Homo-oligomer: A and B are copies of this chain.
Amino acid sequence: MRLIRLENPPTILGSAAVGSKKEFEGPLGADLDLHDETGTFGMDTWEKSESEMQRIVLNLALAKAKCETAELDAIFAGDLLNQCVGSAYGLLSFGKPFFGLYGACSTFAEAAILGSMLVSAGYFHKVATVSSSHFCSAERQFRFPLEYGGQRTPTAQWTATAAGSFILGKEGEGPYITEVMAGRIIDGGIKDANNMGAAMAPAAIDTLLAYFEESGNSPDTFDRILTGDLGREGVLITLELMKREGYDLTRVYNDCGLLLFGGKSQDVHCGGSGCGCSASVISGHIMKRFHSGEFHDVLYLATGALMNADSTKQGSSIPGIAHLVHISSHK
């Protein structure tokens, strides 16, 4: 059994989402708690801007959860920067026990899985999860410096400049995290670092199939099943392959990378990506729909591509992973 049903489902006491100009201009702009038109967040390097986003988003989530920093028992966080420095510098000032995570774009769900299991077990009363990505720091680290003006391929995704945060607590009214399932590393053999959707789709399918089999739930249980971030390419692969396995996801399925940006009009090719993409979509847009009563059950399946710039140059294919979190308005 990979599925874990939490015996004391933790409450999402508060959440926050932060973005930049492009994310604000996208279809979910109104769901951001804060955005910075310049993307600098007042800092003089893009890496420091990303750290500052993490600091801001955690502060906003704490405020919305009516939770003092002193009440936090631990922080679970990560990002895409080499050695996860976005989190290290951004969360330094909170002075809290810190678990650094790396799951690429799946990091926010990995944090939610670990945080909610440890709250449910009673080790911690309140914990925070945080993850972020920044288009400008990611481009120069993984692809080209912005000044180079590199062309993007049709299957490329756009790294979101965004961050999300949850505050999870033992007590309180929902929504709750009721079920979690950690992903396995799955290698579908894709070697094109500009086609992450195809690289990660096999991991999403692996986790989804295991979830439906072990939980007994069907796609109909959910208002939405959301991957993050497969983009258009990965979404089409997932829909097609899940259909062959007997699961028609058409009605409920979408992808955080497709939701965040306005498709062709925003010129993001296959959609958004990055640790901050699904983190901000779930923490902002989706949580608002829980609070308005529109959503009652969402299956959040964050996908990550576990390569680096050197491994693709060395000819290695790109393994993916997909961590699953069931968010529900009822225990």
Q: Which residues of A contact B (CB under 8 A)?
A: 2, 4, 45, 47-48, 74, 78, 80-85, 88-89, 91-92, 95-104, 110, 113-114, 117-118, 121-123, 181-185, 187, 306-311, 314, 316, 319, 321
Contact indicator B183/A98 (Cβ below 8 Å): yes
Contact indicator B102/A84 (Cβ below 8 Å): yes
Given contact pairs A47-B310, A85-B311, A118-B118, enumerate 17 new A-B contacts (beta carbons under 8 Å).
Answer: A80-B83, A82-B83, A82-B309, A83-B306, A85-B310, A88-B306, A89-B316, A95-B184, A96-B184, A98-B182, A98-B183, A100-B102, A100-B103, A101-B101, A117-B121, A121-B121, A121-B122
Chain B nearest CB from A96 CB (Å) reads: 6
Closest B residue to A206 by beta carbon equals B95
Q: How far is the CA of A187 from the CA of B93 in the complex (A)?
A: 9
Chain B nearest CB from A11 CB (Å) reads: 18
Q: How far is the CA of A190 from the CA of B117 in the complex (A)?
A: 36
Number of this chain's copies in the assembly equals 2
Q: How far is the CA of A33 from the CA of B47 in the complex (A)?
A: 41
Which of B80, B88, B185, B308 is the one whose CB lies under 8 Å from A185? Answer: B88
Contact indicator B45/A98 (Cβ below 8 Å): no
Contact indicator A307/B85 (Cβ below 8 Å): yes
Closest B residue to A97 by beta carbon equals B182
16 pairs from A and B in contact (CB 8 Å cutoff): A2-B97, A47-B310, A81-B310, A82-B309, A84-B306, A85-B311, A89-B311, A92-B185, A95-B185, A96-B184, A97-B183, A98-B321, A99-B182, A117-B118, A118-B121, A121-B122
